[in-house]
Chains A and B, each alone.
Chain A
Amino acid sequence: MPAQLTLTVNGAEQTTTVDPNTPLLFVLRNELKLTGPKMGCGMAQCGACAVLLDGEEIRTCITPVSYAAGKQVITIEGLPAVWAAQKPLSASEAAVTLHPVQQAWIDEQVPQCGYCQSGMMIAAVELLSKNPNPTIAQIKDAFTNKPPSPHLCRCGTYAAIIDAVQRAARAMKGAER
């Protein structure tokens, strides 16, 4: 039965009336029009649908929307604001500044088809929040062995992702005040 649920998504409170079992992914994409997270495997095996929930990566394809009620959801659309608050940036600076992870993804020309990259950036943001200066081995470990599954890229952009995570790490470190 549909129920009214309140979520905080990218810093804004959102109220939606849906079946509480609806996957968070469908609510984000179809109700809230946040289409950054992508439908991949539908069974938490690939990472394309990943978002941050209270700062931890989750797979929205298997997470019921009710589980996210009262928690903070961040999608790639909300990453610039996360960085602006973290640094902090003035409103005018924030308007023209991407999250360092996003900027690194552009600077390193990471996406090929790009379908998995929303999830990859989410994983990168989470990793850098816990380990601001990861080695290549630690990056590989995070993107491969962290439950529930490896983050998969069929285009094969893993090398570019490693370059970008390290570039973002340098940028975030350099930006510390």
Chain B
Amino acid sequence: MNSKMDQRETAVFAATISRRGFVKTGGALLVSLAFPVRFTGKTEAAENPTSIDPTLLASWLEIRSDNTIVARTGRAETGVGITGYYAQTIAEELNVRPETITLVMGDTDRTPDGGYSAGFLTGMSNVRKVAAYTYIALLGLAAAQLGVSVSSLTVTDGVVSDGGKKISYGELVQGQHLELKIPVKGELAKPDPARWVGMSSLDGLTVEGDPPMKAVKDFRVIGTSFPAGHIPDKVTGKTQWSCDLTLPGMLHARMVRPATLGSTLVSAGTIDTTTFPTAQLIQKGNLLAVVSPNEWEALQAALSVASTTRWTEWSGLPGSENVTEAIRGSKWQKPSGSRGKAAETTAALQAATKKISAAYEQGYVRHAPIGPFLAVADVKNDGRATVWTHSAQSQGLRARIAYLLGVPVEKVVVRWMDQSGQYGRTTLGGDGAEADAAILSQLTGKPVRVQWTLQEDMAWSSVSPAWVSDVTAALDAKGHIVALHSAQYSPHMFDPRPLGALLAGMPTATSKPGNWVATEWAYDKIENRLEDVYGMPNLGADSASGGLRGNIMRTPGQRQQNFALEGLINEAAAIAGADPIEYRLAHTTDERLINLLHATAKAANWDTRSSPHRGARRTGNITVKGHGVCAMIRENAYWVAIAEISVVPNSGQVQVMKFTIGGEPGKIINPRQLDRCMKSGVVMGLSEALKEEVTFDKSKVTSTNWSRYKILTMEEMPEIQVVQLSRDDKGFGGGSEAANAIVPPAVTAAFFDATGVHARRIPLTPERVLALLRTGGKSS
């Protein structure tokens, strides 16, 4: 490097970076053409398995001389539009057009940070800071190049100008190899038996420092409905999904699962080699599979093997019809999580002259992707392994695969590709077909593609656990809540251990049986509150497969805890004879919640009155109607839902006629993507409120296809009205997750409004509704 170059860089750092003290002036400033790693083919991944250096800006962002930009993030597009949001965020800070940005997502060997794809706020903060650092550096380069001061420069669409002279970002980096180090904190995921999920650092690396970022009032790209980049190729069939990957010599596998969740192998069936000449039976412990170069042969031979394979009997489940009673009857110790004022709340409840309490509950539900899980793995003799996956937690998965194979994490590469949505199932880095594929590849010495069947996915994947919750509130003379205690009991939702590893008896990072308080408190006028959350091991935990492995699912914890909390607030409002929206307004001074309640009520043309409706009935063939409301805060975003439903008491039929959802996530980044996420979240929430429940007998899951695990159809979707409030003074909030969670409490509130009967358990299937209306609900 010549001295002139050195001086220029020093000037850059002196002018912008060292002054703020957030960058070590180690290397040179970034670059384009000479970025050292080039990726030409998926199969080469294992040749270069080490993660790239996250302290180098070039690992995150590459400004190319053709004025295009490559951005790298360990997080992936899970269907909520981050290919849009991330490009917008980077474009905003760099003052470039978002179309010029290409995202590389999720691959452990070519993205720097790891982290949850669900962790929108932290992921977005990372890319925003990276872009901000780059912007400073580029301005410094331009100032030196043009011989003007940084303060005289403006940038439009990647062209820097002082009003007269101009130079593009591409020209700035042309022919150079520059490097900028940025400060990062944290480490990539690794197994850690001390942690609840058996892993640490699942949130990956965080970009440190405080580079100057654009003021919200100056945003030009954020706030527009920029299209998500993943969509066109999916619509035309060009996207290569993980299920589309083929490798030379690749074998197709179909798994042969045990007869029950706790069965162990007695004797494996055999393959008729006349009928299935190229199929091969593979076994390790209780892991049994058929592999073949031909997928149809693998499938048929696996069915044949299954019919002649013998397993031990096992029964260790309570049966889904008894599940909440079984949970209630467990030996509960101390809460695994508590929040609030214990002494004050207890005292206030004891002193109260008027109290109400209610018990809420729900059975197991599941993520239920349309595409059963699938993975491809190529494990070499020397321990190097590449896994192709759609996990939303590539680094966590990488650590789990390394742990089960007994190799250093550096030996493993995880490549992310699009695949069916998963709704939180892979957020903790486990539960998919990846372990099956890695083990089978290790045993066969060939690349193996494992395709789960729907029945297998629904019988063997992890689940969102059943729960019960007891809530008690003390009321004052006006019927307002002055103290509130909630206690929630549930098998834990932190067990994403890979099924393949469990069945094969290979190492898994064990999780602990705790849960946590997930609610964010919306009602600051209720000062005395105490929330306790209890966790227990999986049902059937002692079995070879780990039983019903609890896992997080979209809006985890808060979905369940908010159902109970909002349910009780609706009951308290009814007792007070208050309109449920007025009642909420009386319990909060939070301006954001107040504004959103008003805006959503107005859009829904809310009829202000107390519930139940004066025409409420719980018998008869005539349709009764009701409305209900629910509110929630999550990840700096506010949510309000209003459901309008009809019920035919004598048939138990519940129909949601109209749903209004309001969201205020600070500054809205992309109104259309948010609209899509809000509406689709309502669909998922209605599905849970009206239809979904995992059924099981004493030994196995029985809801193993779409006619037994029913989800909402298009015809069952009501008109959905969306209210969006964007504001410039509260930062960004999570917009893609919470919409599902606010649906069930609004629907059950509307059910009470229509019938006068509190529905404290979902789903509101006709059978359950008939039973509920017959008894009038449990007394409180």
Contact = CB atoms under 8 A, between A and B. Distances in A.
Interface of A: 18-19, 21-23, 26, 29-30, 34-36, 38-43, 45-46, 48, 75-77, 80, 98, 102, 105-106, 109-118, 121, 139-141, 143-145, 149-162
A156 B712 contact: yes
Interface string B232-272: 10111101110110100000000000000000000000000
A93 to B, nearest CB: 16
Interface stretch (B363-371, B615-623, B757-765): B363-371
B672 A144 contact: no
Interface in B72-105: 78-81
A157 B235 contact: no
B459 to A, nearest CB: 13
A156 B680 contact: yes
B86 to A, nearest CB: 16
B237 A157 contact: no
Given A40-B370, A41-B705, A156 B679 contact: yes
Contacts of B682: 156
A158 B717 contact: yes
B141 interface: no
Given A76-B237, A111-B79, A113-B79, 11 more contacts: A40-B454, A41-B454, A46-B706, A76-B235, A77-B237, A102-B235, A109-B673, A115-B369, A151-B714, A155-B421, A156-B681
Contacts of A98: 235-236
Contacts of B679: 156, 159-160
A126 to B, nearest CB: 15
Contacts of A157: 676, 680, 683
B370 A158 contact: no
Contacts of B588: none
Nearest to A144: B715
Most central of A45, A141, A158 by chain B CB within 10 Å: A158
B234 A111 contact: yes
Interface stretch (B122-130, B223-231, B438-446, B517-525): B223-231
State the majority secondary structure of interface residues on B. Answer: loop
B545 interface: no
A92 B705 CA distance: 46
Interface string B354-383: 000000000000011111100000000000
B715 to A, nearest CB: 4
A39 B715 contact: no
A42 B296 CA distance: 12
Contact of B705 (A21, A45, A111, A143): A45
Most central of B371, B716, B720 by chain A CB within 10 Å: B371
Given A40-B370, A115-B370, A115-B421, A158 B714 contact: yes
A106 B232 contact: yes
B711 interface: yes
A100 B677 CA distance: 24
Contacts of B676: 109, 112, 157, 160
A76 B453 CA distance: 24
Q: List 3 tightest A-B contacts by C-beta distance, closest first.
A: A156-B683, A156-B680, A113-B421
Interface of B: 78-81, 225, 227-228, 230-232, 234-237, 239-241, 243-244, 246, 294-296, 367-372, 418-421, 423, 451, 453-454, 672-673, 676-677, 679-684, 687, 705-707, 711-717, 720
A109 B720 contact: no
B462 to A, nearest CB: 16
B239 A152 contact: no
A158 B234 contact: no
B711 A144 contact: no
Nearest to B686: A156
B237 A26 contact: no
A118 to B, nearest CB: 7
A26 B293 CA distance: 13
A149 B680 contact: no
A139 B715 CA distance: 9
B228 A140 contact: no
A117 B711 contact: no
A114 B421 CA distance: 8
Given A38-B371, A40-B371, A109-B672, A143 B451 contact: no
B420 A113 contact: yes
A79 B717 CA distance: 28
Given A39-B371, A143-B714, A157-B676, A115 B419 contact: yes
Contacts of B713: 143-144, 150, 152
Nearest to B420: A115
A105 B232 CA distance: 8
Contacts of A149: 706
Contacts of A40: 370-372, 454
A40 B371 CA distance: 5
B702 to A, nearest CB: 16
A165 B232 CA distance: 16
Given A26-B296, A140-B717, A155-B680, A117 B235 contact: yes
Contacts of B243: 35, 38-39
A141 B687 CA distance: 18
Given A112-B676, A154-B368, A34 B237 contact: yes
